[in-house]
Amino acid sequence: MISFDREQQIFHLQTEHSSYLIGIFAGKCLLHIHYGRRVEHCADMFAMMDKPAESRYDWNPKCMELGEQFALCEQTLELPTFGDGDYRSPGFHGEYADGSTVSKLYYTGHRIFAGKQALGELPSAYTEAGDQTVTLEITLADQLTGLRAYLYYTVYPAWDIITRSVRYENGGTAPILLKKVDSAVVDFDRMNFDFVHFYGTWARERQMERRPLFYGDQSVDSSRGASSHTQNPFVCLSAREATEDFGEVYGLNLIYSGNFHAGAYVDTFGKTRLYIGINSFDFSWKLDCGESFQTPEAILAYSHSGFAALSHRMHSFVHKRICRGQFRDIRRPVLINNWEATYFDFDEEKLVKLAEKAASVGVELMVLDDGWFGHRDDDRSSLGDWYEHRGRLPGGLEPLVERIHALGMKFGLWVEPEMISEDSELYRAHPDWCIHTAGRRCSEGRHQLVLDLSRPEVCDYLIEILSRLFSRVSVEYIKWDMNRNMTEVCSAALPPDRQREVAHRYMIGLYRVLGTLKQRFPHILMEGCAGGGGRFDLGMLCYFDQIWLSDDTDAVERQYIQTGSSYGYPFSVMGAHVSACPNHQTGRVTPFHTRGYAAMPGQFGYELDLDKLTEGELEEVRQQIRLYKELAPVFHDGTFYRICSPETDWKTVWEFVSPDRKTVVVEIFTVQAQAAAPMERFCLKGLQPDALYTDRLTGRQYWGDVLMHIGLMRARKQDYDGEMLILEQTAAGAKR
Ligand code: GLA
């Protein structure tokens, strides 16, 4: 709900547990008053100050339009700009035709409306009937330059989420160079927070780091042309003492898949500015007269009861208001992917043999990975040539697909459309279609170059070639890969003064390609991938039903990656597979059941040569698939709790509670065993205290309050061991 107090000149945005207050000072300047715990009453703009709006330091320049005593750098601001006395990292920075960089964006009007506006070419969170979403649009204008800013705030009351974005419009008479266009800035008048972010690299994505704020700027970013393995746009600001179940936590994410930055800037007065947006480094956008620029949408989530509640809000919001399409609410097929089973060494017979075995144990979808096209015998050629490799598939894809379908399985195909190999028909026909800088040799990543999706004709070509492929071959699933980051970023199609727009134009082009294909082929399940989790973000999740979380399939490392990812993202979007041992990435040997338990909460599948499994292991596969089919609704629609962390506890305990709280799945993994291992206690969460729960395997019964407040005990006896407890509510009185 959003209200405007005309007398006080204050906007009050309310979700179920949070309030966000903005004031209009002197009829002009937007001040940020509060974001945090919900209040019922409107505060006055300088509620707690003894001398409102009166500078306490001669040294701070005063903004004379706002008052002889008004220093911007002493205030908490809603859309901070640069040039008239605020020296913190601004939310907007632009350069005007006369070379000046001073912006004064003052309030000119607002409107409040039900629902939410579309974001033009960019993906955004959506609403459904009954959400009671309301949007506030505030208009600011700079009289001198004609620049206008439209600030959007959409309130999702039940989720405790507010989405924000800004649209800039050039209403002046000369072009304006946009240099920094953050999607959201939130000022706090304190710094006693921790900054939490998720760093990583290929095959080790989203490791959590939490550290106290220090004076100055602390930020994470990507300039790789993708949100990247190395940092994720999801960040948190938490109270220093916050735990899983206690304390204030703010979550911030961006619906964007390209270069971003997110950070906290602490100024000399101990005030914190939290910000997120397109990375301003190596970015600029020339905004011609009459044109608009829309920033990506930011998601702001708030919890006053720790990280668990924040994650729950993010999980259901991402699942239900970011992810979309016909697969959102249904169980996805269990798949087998041939990559780690065969790599490039396969032909039709080998694939059919793998599929036959897979079908016999209950797998539902056969995915043909890299190597089926052009003359791709290794990773040095053929990206761009999306027709069959006749050496491997002499009859093409159709006969193979028919044979897979005859087994009662669905068929899936790997593509990497954004890339081009120098050794390809496409490159020979269009050498200038790759991202490159004239006169400089292109750096290569995995021997490949990046197609220039900032060019509309390249996007049109991709839409056409892929539409033809998906229409000709009866595919029910696509794995959309992207295996290198951008370098030498320039486009042959843009003038010099627009070259710094290429990376963002690429994202707009990519979203158009994905959106068009999704619209034309809504029945195809799409899994995103970028060398594993190199583009695991909300932008991609507006198009992809799920994302291959990491190329690391090791059951132990996956506990870290999946735990880290779970802070901001639900298990329903994480592709997770059982693979062979010794594991291909780490060489580690883990029990087969542990691999099953580690992968099962995600979008489940197998990625190994089933022919190499023993009869006993094949039987385990059958059981795992049966169990997965039964428990998928608990994993994907239930509530997830991080009970023990692999990082700090040397064991991982994950708990999933079904929406009706009648089924509880607890997964316990030993990361590192200990000699003379003591019994370690852990308590479950989210149960009905006065309900009786029965352990399906042992028949032992426990009361909900006992499981939550006294807990279960286990010893860490065996490295990498895994255990799954299924607890089911028993009718009262059925206690033995
Ligand atoms: C990337 C993907 C893998 C696999 C290979 C194929 O690394 O993440 O899953 O598809 O490409 O080349």
| CATH value at residue 145 | 2.70.98.60
Say how many Å lie between the CA of residue 532 and the centre of ligand 1.
Answer: 7
Instruction: Please give the pLDDT value at position 193.
Output: 98
CATH number, position 412: 3.20.20.70
Are 162 and 269 found together in one domain? yes
Q: At residue 137, what is the residue type?
A: E
Mean pLDDT of 1-9: 94
Q: What is the DSSP letter of 332?
A: P
Statement: residue 46 has pLDDT above 90: no
Are 197 and 262 found together in one domain? yes
Count Cβ atoms within 10 A of the Cβ of residue 101 and give its class: 0-12 exposed, 13-18 middle, 19 or more buried: middle
Q: Give domain status of residue 597, yes or no.
A: no
Mean pLDDT of 686-704: 97
Q: What is the DSSP letter of 320?
A: I
Q: How many CB atoms are located within 10 Å of the residue 315 CB?
A: 23
Say how many Å lie between the CA of residue 585 and the centre of ligand 1.
Answer: 13
The β-bridge relationship of strands 147-156 and 134-141 is: antiparallel
- pLDDT band at 386, cuts 50/70/90? very high
Select from 345, 372, 481, 608 the residue to mutate for testing ligand 1; criterion: most ligand atoms less than 8 Å from CB.
481
Instruction: Please give the pLDDT value at position 73.
Output: 95
Mean pLDDT of 71-96: 97
The predicted model scores a pTM of 0.98
Statement: residue 33 has pLDDT above 90: yes
Tokens at 448, concatenated: 């490949």
Domain end: 298, 322, 346, which one?
322
Distance of CA 666 to the CA centre of its chain: 25
Is the Cα dihedral 63, 67, 69, 71 positive or negative? negative
Per-residue pLDDT tens for 419-447?
999 999 999 999 999 999 999 999 999 99
Assess contact for 77 and 30: CB atoms under 8 A: yes
Select from 204, 205, 229, 369 the residue to mutate for testing ligand 1; criterion: most ligand atoms less than 8 Å from CB.
369
Q: Give domain status of residue 240, yes or no.
A: yes
Are 289 and 356 found together in one domain? no
Say how many Å lie between the CA of residue 456 and the centre of ligand 1.
Answer: 27
Nearest-CA residue for atom 1 of ligand 1 = 531
Nearest-CA residue for atom 8 of ligand 1 = 531
Q: Give domain status of residue 613, yes or no.
A: no
Are 65 and 153 found together in one domain? yes
Statement: residue 686 has pLDDT above 60: yes
Among candidate residues 86, 267, 551, 721, the one labeled active-site is 551
Among the listed residues 159, 51, 178, the one whose alpha carbon sits nearest the alpha carbon of residue 500: 178
Mean pLDDT of 704-731: 95
Q: Give domain status of residue 612, yes or no.
A: no
Say how many Å lie between the CA of residue 534 and the centre of ligand 1.
Answer: 11
Beta strands, E only, 560-685: 574-579, 603-607, 639-644, 651-657, 663-670, 679-682
Statement: residue 188 has pLDDT above 90: yes
Assess contact for 60 and 267: CB atoms under 8 A: no
Statement: residue 342 has pLDDT above 50: yes
Mean pLDDT of the chain: 96
Nearest-CA residue for atom 2 of ligand 1 = 531
Relative orientation angle of helices 348-361 and 615-637, to the nearest 10 degrees: 70
Instruction: Please give the pLDDT value at position 731.
Output: 76
Are 291 and 243 found together in one domain? yes
Phi, psi of 507 (to 5 degrees): -65, -40
Is 719 a known active-site residue?
Answer: no
Is 84 a known active-site residue?
Answer: no
Mean pLDDT of 491-506: 98
Number of domains in the chain: 3
Q: Which residues line ligand 1 (CB under 6 A)?
A: 339, 369-370, 414, 481, 483, 529, 531-532, 548, 551
Statement: residue 166 has pLDDT above 90: yes
Are 297 and 371 found together in one domain? no
Statement: residue 733 has pLDDT above 90: no
CATH number, position 722: 2.60.40.1180
Q: Give domain status of residue 607, yes or no.
A: no
- Which atom, in ligand 1's list, is nearest to the CA of 446? 12
Phi, psi of 612 (to 5 degrees): -85, 0
Percent of the chain clearing pLDDT 70 (strictly above): 99
Domain end: 322, 353, 387, which one?
322
Instruction: Please give the pLDDT value at position 53.
Output: 76
Indicate the range of 44-53, 220-229, 587-596 predicted with least confidence: 44-53
3-class SS at 276? strand
Mean pLDDT of 200-219: 98
Statement: residue 50 has pLDDT above 80: no
Are 316 and 369 found together in one domain? no
- pLDDT band at 71, cuts 50/70/90? very high
Q: Give domain status of residue 386, yes or no.
A: yes
Are 199 and 65 found together in one domain? yes
Q: At residue 169, what is the residue type?
A: E
Nearest-CA residue for atom 7 of ligand 1 = 531
- pLDDT band at 702, cuts 50/70/90? very high
Q: At residue 546, what is the residue type?
A: Q
Instruction: Please give the pLDDT value at position 45.
Output: 72
- pLDDT band at 736, cuts 50/70/90? very low
Are 114 and 213 found together in one domain? yes
**The domain containing residue 684 runs over which residues?**
643-732
Statement: residue 671 has pLDDT above 80: yes
Instruction: Please give the pLDDT value at position 732.
Output: 60
Mean pLDDT of 622-629: 98
- Which atom, in ligand 1's list, is nearest to the CA of 532? 8
Domain end: 548, 578, 598, which one?
548
Instruction: Please give the pLDDT value at position 734.
Output: 53
Among candidate residues 481, 537, 545, 552, the one labeled active-site is 481
Q: Give domain status of residue 295, yes or no.
A: yes
Mean pLDDT of 656-672: 97
Are 213 and 162 found together in one domain? yes
Are 382 and 408 found together in one domain? yes
Q: Give domain status of residue 570, yes or no.
A: no
Say how many Å lie between the CA of residue 481 and the centre of ligand 1.
Answer: 7
Are 307 and 447 found together in one domain? no
Residue that is written with structure tokens 């490791």 in the block: 207
Say how many Å lie between the CA of residue 199 and the centre of ligand 1.
Answer: 21
Q: Rounded to whole angstroms, what are the CA distances from 74 to 35, 44, 52, 82, 103?
A: 18, 17, 11, 14, 18
